[in-house]
Structure 1
Amino acid sequence: MTTNQLTTAIANTLTQHFHDIPNHPASTPSEKGITYRLLSAQLTRERSDRFVQSHAFEIRWLNPNDIPATLPDELFEALETIDVEGTPYRATEMRWETENDTPRMLVYYTMRTTKVSESAATMQQLEQRPTALKVTRE
């Protein structure tokens, strides 16, 4: 799974659960709605064939003076498990915090992946053709 696939899944989830509220990347200027942005992405090798992918996202409500009372619970419910191209991914950590008097939600997704070793080439079918045997006498 790529970081772009995960980011797209978060955008799709926000659209599905908050269809009346605009959502967009934090890099897009706006005054209303919900923004999301990737804070960090990390790939760490545990063993030669095992890796850990960690992603941290920030979700913000753009009007801090008009936050719906149910928004925190609805965001937790929507982002706890997201669908990334047919595979469900569950957040490993979700929390609200305040930065410069503006609330934000931090969501962390951690996945373990295993590098699949290439399988040996399978036997191929041999084709056998009868050949004429030429016999010579001396």
Structure 2
Amino acid sequence: MTTNQLTMAIANKLTHYFPNIPIHPATDSTISNPDTKGITYRLFSAQLTRERSDRFVQSHAFEIRWLETDHIPETLPDELFEALETIDVEGTPYRATELRWETENDTPRMLVYYTMRTTKVSESAATMQQLEQRPTALKLRENN
């Protein structure tokens, strides 16, 4: 799974869960424009850590912002928790490891963390060849 696939899954989930609210990828213009309404999303951080030679931990943090600081629905945090607790990426469900609702500079936001373990698949080694064994007949010679 790629970071882009995860980001698209979050965008799709927000669009599906909030059909009457505009959903935007976060850019400087959407955040700084006071006329923009709705929800923005962006990748906040991504990290890949090696556990063993063939196993890794991927951690992604996403920031979800509500753009109308003067009108925050009371149920918004609960609805975002419910919407983003589990997302589907190409048929595989991923559960958030942490969801945190906070206010930064009077702008409400939710931080959502997804962590998954991946295993590097090594190339298949050549399989052992099968040996074929044939019985041999020994002829004994008589000495006269």
State the match for 2:10 in structure 1: 10
- TM normalised by structure 1 equals 0.84
Q: Name whichever of 51-60 and 26-35 sits farther off.
A: 26-35
Match of 2:77 among 63, 72, 79: 72
Q: Amino acid of the residue matched to residue 67 of structure 2?
A: L
Which residues of structure 1 form unaligned runs of 5+?
124-138
Which residues of structure 2 form unaligned runs of 5+?
129-144
Number of matched pairs: 124
| Helix, strand or coil at the partner of 1:47 | coil
| Helix, strand or coil at the partner of 1:78 | helix
Q: Distance in 1 between matches of 2:13 and 2:127?
A: 42
Q: How does 1:47-86 map to 2 (within 5 A)?
A: 47-86=52-91
Tell me the CA shift for residue 68 of structure 1: 1.0
State the match for 2:133 in structure 1: none
Q: Which has the larger radius of gyration?
A: 2
Q: Amino acid of the residue matched to residue 4 of structure 2?
A: N
Match of 1:88 among 87, 93, 96: 93
State the match for 2:24 in structure 1: 24
State the match for 2:142 in structure 1: none
Q: Could you list the runs of 4 or more consecutive aligned residues of structure 1 that deviate by over 3 angstroms after TM superposition? A: none
Q: Distance in 1 between matches of 2:69 and 2:113?
A: 22
Q: Name whichever of 114-123 and 100-109 sits farther off.
A: 114-123
State the match for 2:109 in structure 1: 104
Q: Amino acid of the residue matched to residue 107 of structure 1?
A: V
* CA-based RMSD: 1.7
Deviations 1:3-25 (A, max 9, x none): 10000000000001001101011
Q: Distance in 1 between matches of 2:15 and 2:122?
A: 38
- TM normalised by structure 2 equals 0.81
Tell me the CA shift for residue 115 of structure 1: 1.0
| Helix, strand or coil at the partner of 1:116 | coil
State the match for 2:132 in structure 1: none
